[in-house]
Amino acid sequence: MRDTSELTAAVERLADRLRAAPQSRLQRGAAAEGLALARELAVRAQRAEDPEAEPRQMPDAGVFTVADQLVVAGNDLAEILRTAPADSREGELAEAVEMVRGAAERSGL
């Protein structure tokens, strides 16, 4: 099993920042950045779980829910990667962590 704590910690940090951000900052792009990341993490989780199925897109549920959507998507991907065979998806975990960090930088959080 892989240690996915770095991914879950990065996701939680960004989600906490999104929850604490003022509405104006969320509306100026932070929420959109968070939603784009949540959608990408969700697609990756779906593809890892069932490569044959067409991934479903996470809906836009509003600026105040994006932090929760991010946590759900990040935790889903972390769990799938944690239980994946050791030789599969070798770089996916590190890539996901970098995606979270990049989204945090781009959103200004």
**Could you tell me the residue ranges of all domains in the chain?**
5-107
Q: What is residue 55's predicted lDDT score, i.e. its pLDDT?
A: 95
Helix (H) or strand (E) holding 49: helix 31-49
C-beta atoms surrounding 36 within 10 Å: 16
The CA distance from 85 to 9, in Å, is 22
106: which residues sit within 8 A by CB, 6+ positions away? 33
Q: What is residue 9's predicted lDDT score, i.e. its pLDDT?
A: 97
Residues of the chain with pLDDT under 70: 1-2, 86-88, 90
Assessment of whether the complete model's pTM goes beyond 0.85 = yes
- Are residues 33 and 102 in contact, defined by beta-carbon separation less than 8 angstroms? no
